[in-house]
Structure 1
């Protein structure tokens, strides 16, 4: 099959023929319909998330079940499915206690680029090729069944592809925030995750929803999708603006930028006694200092959130799509063939895209 392979960090992807083996126990082979391109993929390409090369990335996967391994019961051949970027084992302590987004087994292998048994299903010329959270930049992908959710037959697979990361991460952030009706919330970062979060905040009954970003066209998209106010952090002091517009700071700030500047911005802007939810992912080895005294004296609740629960939350997201309360297709700014993937990567790196769909 064809796949877009990263052979070395900071080099262009190469679309080439690779071998894919049959799915093993608990695994599913998916014929890929579309895969969203995310900044987490770009971090792999640049070596900031150091998955060993050669590697095939792509974790916002939609497609059709081609083949199932032994023991698979959640999906069958011919089912339309989406894959989450989290693939729970379903057996570890966190999985059985309702925290499958923090699966201990998956956490041990996700940056190694292998399945849960420690091996990969892709190879070329006898050499193993790794995959990052599914390896959807290819014609086929093999995913653990617990990472998959069946999609209704009348729902367009391209429309829902980005639920696998942007949607699930936004859902997890809003769920953990425990938003009460009328709460003032700021979302820092208006990429795929931020814009998903804004839509889900609106669906959850938040009051004022303030989008913070640097691109005017993305901030305009945020207003279209449910933000009540926007702050362009390149044009004004964002901390001052957030405090002034809210009379002391938002009750909750969801930080989706994933860098030192935006994390400090969130901590400096939140209301005394408020909550900061971190969902943006900086490079794997990033060390970001924070003002601990300010967090303590301000009684600020600082929490990290890694996505949502695929088997529990993804069906709810699909229902929100069906009801028209969340539109994942509003995040898509381009559609590219597999052979055009480097063009899509360049646009994302320049900040000229939100989510691009890579279509084999």
Structure 2
């Protein structure tokens, strides 16, 4: 076993973090000052018979992580953030039966107590203590070298699946959930607002399920990526009623997904009678007022899909069939280069507010 390490990062003692059984590891922590900081943190150990210890390969940077930095989503100070994780099992508890050391796994971060009223009804995403169980928000996440959690929240990655595809399984569960809840049909027209990773995944799935897939994106890099999947891609200034009628048989859209989190005004402007609007992007600071009579008279539904309903197994199978989904991972950075990695995705300077060009789609922070 490695000796206890008190060395600062960048000095020789940090090498001991990588030795099996080390007391300390690296963790990307949300501080009391509401900033990210790479710290020495205690390496977690098994606490129960059903626990599994995972050596994290990498964790995708999610829009939720970005919104924590932007102040749009709250995280608990002192918490290791990150939740889109894949890695290799290095230790198992005595009661673990489905996993073995050496297995590659996806970690389901949408966890729950299993005991409350909603969990006992199968509505686990509405768990009464939901926030306490969410990786990177209410409990330690996976921007770290190791993670320990229960076997029931881990899923074995097929041998044929790459790490790059596997790391996209968790966001894919979110996308599959909202497509199920919104009931997208083969004759539907779908508008996805935003072409970040979630928006692009929505476009991939919509292209398979619906008649027409359109997207809106302000950033040129992401708009160019979107053109691989959507039938039409608009800059917000180009999205007009006349243009929509031109591409959609004189009608507005049947389904609109706000993958940004603050675009319900746009969605309300372009939704057809009988249409469904799905708020998907997270932004706790945003609100929008609807006219109830307009919703009633036009038969419009607003669908709060909630978090994922245990869809990781289905997403693993579906991901295998999505051609070139792994190409969404455009960059990988070591944990030490987290500042550079986040900077690639923010779209603006956190200190000055000046807009910056986005240069990546999906970025993964590597622990291995």
Tell me the TM-score normalised to structure 1 length. 0.84
Aligned with 2:316 (options 309, 318, 324): 318
Distance apart, 1:199 and its partner CA: 1.1
Equivalents in 2 of 1:56, 1:111: separation in Å?
8
Equivalents in 1 of 2:118, 2:241: separation in Å?
37
Count of residues in correspondence between the two structures? 331
Partner secondary structure for residue 257 of structure 1:
coil
Aligned with 1:110 (options 134, 139, 148): 134
Distance apart, 1:238 and its partner CA: 4.6
1:231 aligns with 2:238: no
Distance apart, 1:47 and its partner CA: 3.6
Task: Give the equivalent residue in structure 2 for 1:345.
Answer: 342
Counterpart contact for 1:87–1:143, Cα < 8 Å: no
Distance apart, 1:77 and its partner CA: 2.6
Task: Give the equivalent residue in structure 2 for 1:335.
Answer: 332
Aligned with 2:203 (options 176, 180, 198): 198
Structure 1 residues 104 and 242: CA distance shift in structure 2, 3 A: farther
Aligned with 1:175 (options 174, 180, 199): 180
Aligned with 2:79 (options 55, 73, 97): 55
Distance apart, 1:230 and its partner CA: 1.4
Residues 174-183 or 290-299, more deviating: 290-299
Partner secondary structure for residue 295 of structure 1:
helix
Task: Give the equivalent residue in structure 1 for 2:161.
Answer: 155
Q: How does 1:291-302 map to 2 (within 5 A)?
A: 291-302=291-302
Q: How does 1:17-166 map to 2 (within 5 A)?
A: 17-25=40-48, 26-69=50-93, 71-110=95-134, 113-115=137-139, 131=140, 135-164=141-170, 166=171
Structure 1 residues 270 and 357: CA distance shift in structure 2, 3 A: same
Counterpart contact for 2:110–2:135, Cα < 8 Å: no
Equivalents in 1 of 2:192, 2:291: separation in Å?
21
Moved over 6 A (4+): none
Structure 1 residues 105 and 249: CA distance shift in structure 2, 3 A: same
Counterpart contact for 2:58–2:365, Cα < 8 Å: yes
Structure 1 residues 30 and 232: CA distance shift in structure 2, 3 A: same
Alignment deviations for residues 9-30 of structure 1 (CA, whole Å, 9 cap, x no partner) = 453x332221023132343221
Name which structure has the greater RCO, CA cutoff 8 Å, separation 6+: 1
Q: How does 1:180-191 map to 2 (within 5 A)?
A: 180-191=185-196
Note the residue ranges of structure 2 that are not aligned, 5 or more in a row: 1-24, 348-357
Equivalents in 2 of 1:267, 1:354: separation in Å?
27
Note the residue ranges of structure 1 that are not aligned, 5 or more in a row: 116-130
Structure 1 residues 182 and 152: CA distance shift in structure 2, 3 A: same
Counterpart contact for 2:221–2:359, Cα < 8 Å: no
Distance apart, 1:58 and its partner CA: 0.8
Equivalents in 2 of 1:58, 1:178: separation in Å?
30
Structure 1 residues 292 and 108: CA distance shift in structure 2, 3 A: farther
1:273 aligns with 2:274: yes
Aligned with 1:3 (options 27, 33, 37): 27
Equivalents in 2 of 1:307, 1:227: separation in Å?
25
Partner secondary structure for residue 175 of structure 2:
helix
Distance apart, 1:51 and its partner CA: 1.8
Distance apart, 1:81 and its partner CA: 0.6
Counterpart contact for 1:24–1:70, Cα < 8 Å: no
